[in-house]
Amino acid sequence: MHNKNSIIEVIEHPYSELLYQARYDEAVVTGQPMVERPFWFRNTETGQLFHDLYSCLGWPTEVTDKDEGMPGYTAVVGVVRPDESMEQYNPINADFQLLAEAEARDVQVLIAHALQMRERYGFGLDSELLKCCYGDPERFIMTLALRNEQLGEKQALTITPPIDLYSPSVFDNYLRSLKSCLLKNQLRFYFGGCNILKDHLREFRKNNPAVMAIGGLVHSLLVQCSWMTELGQGIFNLEENYG
C-alpha cells in the first residue's frame, strides 16, 4: 500500500529473506528468543531510521462541577534504529523517541489528531504499521464507532489495550516503566523536541492522560519487544508483510 501523505518509507534489505534465515538460525543456535527483522522505516525529511512506529491515546478525564478535567493526549513513538548498516547490535535495547504529540479536551478533536498523526507517520505502508493505537478501548465507544463508520473498515482507528491496563496499580506500573527509561544511567526515551508530555510529567497528577498513554505504550514495548520477531513465529516471508 502507498501513503502519499506520509513522511515515512519502508527500507528492505536486498537479500531480506536470506538475511533473516541466517539470523534465525543463529538465534536458534545461541538460544536468543528474538530475531531482528530485515526491514525498517525511514523518515524522508530527517533521514532518521526506526525499527517500528507506534501510536497511543489517552482519553480526557471526567468532567465534574469542580474540575473541567485533564485534556486527552495522543502521540506517535518510534523505536530508533542507529543506522542502515547490517552490523550486529542488540535491538532489544533500542531507544524510544517521541515523534509527534497533541492534546485536546474534545474527543472528536483528539481522534482527528490521532488520525492525522497516523497518516503522517506511515499508516497503510504495510499491514501492521500503526494498525492499532494503544489506549483504553472501553471509553467513548460510541463516539469512536461513529467516526470509524465514516472512515470505513480499512481506515478505522482501532484501540488496543496496553499490557496491564486493567491492573489496580495501572498508573503506578506505567509511570515506573516510563521513568525507568528516563534514568540518566540508562536513558532510552527521548522527547525529540516535544513539550506536552514533559510539562505533564513536571505537573504530575495521578491518571494524567499523557502519562497513561505514553506510559502504557512504553510498558507494553518493554514487555513485548514487538519490533522484533519471536522465534516461535516462524521464518520471515516478505510477501506476507508487503504483498
Of 115, 120, 106, nearest in space to 8 by CA: 120
Spell out the domain ranges in the chain.
40-224
DSSP letter for each residue of the chain: ---TT-SEEEEE-TTHHHHHHHHHHHHHHHT-SEE--SEEEEETTT--EEEEEEEEEEPPPPP-SS---PPEEEEEEEEEE--S------GGG--EEEEEEEEESSHHHHHHHHHHHHHHTTTTSSSSTT-EEES-TTSSHHHHHHHHHHH-GGG--EEEPPTTTTSTTHHHHHHHHHHHTT-GGG--EE-TT--HHHHHHHH--TT-HHHHHHHHHHHHHHHH-TTSEEGGG-S--HHHHH-
The confidence score (pLDDT) of residue 35 equals 75
Residue 142: other Cβ atoms inside 10 A: 7
The confidence score (pLDDT) of residue 140 equals 96
Query: Rounded to an integer, what distance in angstroms lies between the CA atom of residue 165 and that of residue 213?
Result: 10
Average pLDDT of adjacent 10-residue blocks, the chain of 243 residues: 81 64 61 72 95 97 85 97 71 94 97 97 91 97 96 95 96 96 94 95 91 98 88 49 41
**What's phi and psi for 8, nearest 5 deg?**
-110, 140
- Pairing state of beta strands 158-160 and 132-134? parallel
Query: Rounded to an integer, what distance in angstroms lies between the CA atom of residue 133 and that of residue 161?
Result: 8
Asked whether the whole model's pTM tops 0.85, one would answer: yes
Q: Does domain 40-224 have CATH number 3.30.420?
A: yes
**Alpha carbon 53 to chain centroid, angstroms:** 5
The confidence score (pLDDT) of residue 243 equals 39
